[in-house]
Amino acid sequence: MATSISRNEAAICSLLFVVGALAIFFAKTRRTRIQTDYFTLTGVPAPVPLTDFDVDKAKARPYRPFRWEYHQTMSLKTMDPDRWIELESTYRQRIQQRNELYSKHGKKIIDMLPGSEDACRELMEMVIQFVCARYPRQFRMDTGSGIFYNNILDIASDTRTAHPLEFLLQHIPEDFLLTQERKNGLYAFRAGVSCSSVGWNVSTKIGLHLHEIHQPVPDYKEKMDFSMNRFFTNMKVDKPIQRGSWGIEVGQPLFLQEDDPDFRAPVPDLKISDLHLRVDWQTLRRLPRSRAIVFNFKALFTPIEEFRSEPYIPRLLLKILRDGKPSFMEYKAFSHVEAQVMPALEKWTKEQEEKGWVPADWKERTLAEDPFFPGWESKL
């Protein structure tokens, strides 16, 4: 005997069929996106795998991005495809700091504006593919389940449900700032995770255009505003770049705000051993799908006293600090450490000349090894 069904039942069956089909479609789409080969899509080659990498023994490269004569430019170099994201022995400490900072400061650390969601997820996927290729013993991605395995921290994350920026905070010791082109043709900061900002934070910069973000930078408006906007507009997916910025800090302040009592405060009995070079080594690249441009960086700290054994560095830095533009020195907040740094650099410069490491008649200039120095490989 045939069974008849009502029109309502038929409609419900049809609706369930459509919903099921859509669920399968979106599930497949989600799996397909996480398996995208971004190395092929971007034209930036995959990194060489570090199969014997030991994160607890790895040392950061000794970046010394000192230039003379100094001119306020973007100072761009082609990005080394092996070095987009670099891990070293501070990894566990930094991840712990990042989680604590986010728990304490919320949107000062992570925020995203409507319309940036796809770019954030694309960035997460690109980072996952890179670190799994570069550090195969440390990270693994199960593309079938969407589970990312972090063997350093012994944790797993479901990338299908994870907030992309929180995922980056929890696994990658670098900051990521996403910019997108607006209707006026200018680029604006639309999403980011930043745990290593001094004097600013995500909430003070989110939504601003490039020239607004860089307003405190000396000579930016006069010498860099036009070229920066043009560079962002014309940037190619297959042409990522890198650069470095630096400052001299008391201790190792990772996240420090202007309302913090320790911000640029005088330190009684300050010693040269208290001072560190902070280098923010930065890369900049365009994402292939969303066309957003991502700026990522990490803070690296080196005791100033290490300069004593680095040929040319004390003399080059001494020249910059002595003869640099006053506005540049003010921006670097050099005055609060000047009394300790200058005598030490003068002493080490004389020592290196006496040892024959640096000719007495050497004319200060950007080193051929920039951003390093002769013999830098011995520090690794």
Instruction: Report the pLDDT averaged over residues 214-237.
Output: 75
**What are the tokens at 180?**
């997108």
More confident residue, 45 or 233: 45
Cβ neighbours of residue 242 under 8 Å, at least 6 residues apart?
76, 77, 78, 79, 80, 83, 281, 282, 283, 284
Number of alpha carbons in the 13 Å side-chain half-sphere of residue 182? 15
pLDDT (mean) for 123-150: 97
Banded pLDDT at 273 (limits 50, 70, 90): very high
- Residue from 69, 47, 45, 94 nearest 328 by CA: 69
Q: Name the 3-class secondary structure at 162.
A: coil
Q: What pLDDT is stored for residue 131 in this prediction? A: 98
Task: Identify the burial level of 161 via C-beta atoms within 10 angstroms of its C-beta, where 0-12 means exposed, 13-18 middle and 19 or more buried.
Answer: exposed
pLDDT at res. 214: 75
* Rounded Cα gap, residues 157 and 148, in angstroms: 5
Q: What is the mean pLDDT of residues 116-136?
A: 98
Choice among 2-16, 170-184, 248-262, 279-293 with the minimum mean pLDDT = 2-16
Window from 13-27, 77-91, 146-160 with minimum mean pLDDT: 13-27
Is the pLDDT at 220 greater than 70, yes or no? no
- Please report which confidence band the pLDDT of residue 79 belongs to, taking 50, 70 and 90 as the band edges: very high
Q: State mean pLDDT over 92-116.
A: 97
Please report the sign of the dihedral spanned by the C-alpha atoms of residue 113, residue 116, residue 121, residue 125. negative
How far apart CA 239 and CA 357 sit, in angstroms, is: 37
* Residue 16 pLDDT: 52
Instruction: Give the pLDDT confidence score for residue 258 in this predicted structure.
Output: 86
* Range of weakest confidence among 59-63, 267-271, 330-334: 330-334
What's the rounded mean pLDDT across residues 372-380? 95
pLDDT exceeds cutoff 70 at 222: no
Three-state secondary structure call for residue 329: helix
Q: What is the pLDDT of residue 145?
A: 95
- Residue of 118, 259, 105 whose CA lies nearest to 190: 118
* Look-up of token digits 């001494």: 318
Secondary structure class of 285 (helix, strand, coil): strand
**Phi, psi of 177, rounded to the nearest 5 degrees:** -120, 125
User: pLDDT at position 308, please?
Assistant: 98
25 pLDDT higher than 60? no
Relative orientation angle of helices 338-355 and 313-323, to the nearest 10 degrees = 140
At 30 the pLDDT is: 44
Q: What is the pLDDT of residue 20?
A: 53
Assign residue 199 a region: left if phi > 0, alpha if psi is -120 to 50, beta otherwise? left
For residues 199 and 211, what is the distance between their CA atoms, to the nearest angstrom?
Answer: 17
> Among all chains, which residue has been given the structure tokens 């050099």?
334
Buried b (16+ CB within 10 A) or exposed e, 17-46: eeeeeeeeeeeeeeeeebeeebbeebebee
Measured distance between the N- and C-terminal CA atoms of the chain, rounded to whole angstroms? 82
pLDDT digit string (tens) for 146-163? 999 999 999 999 999 999
Helix 117-134 to helix 164-171 angle, to the nearest 10 degrees?
A: 30
What does the alpha-carbon distance between residue 143 and residue 325 come to, in Å, rounded to a whole number?
53
Q: Examine the pLDDT at 144 and tell me if it is beyond 90.
A: yes
Most confident region among 133-147, 214-228, 245-259 by mean pLDDT: 133-147
In the DSSP assignment, the letter for residue 378 is: G
Give the model's pLDDT for residue 75: 62
Token pair listed for 21? 């089909």
Q: Are 91 and 131 in contact (CB under 8 A)?
A: no
> Where residue 69 falls among pLDDT bands split at 50, 70, 90?
confident
Q: What is the pTM of this model?
A: 0.86
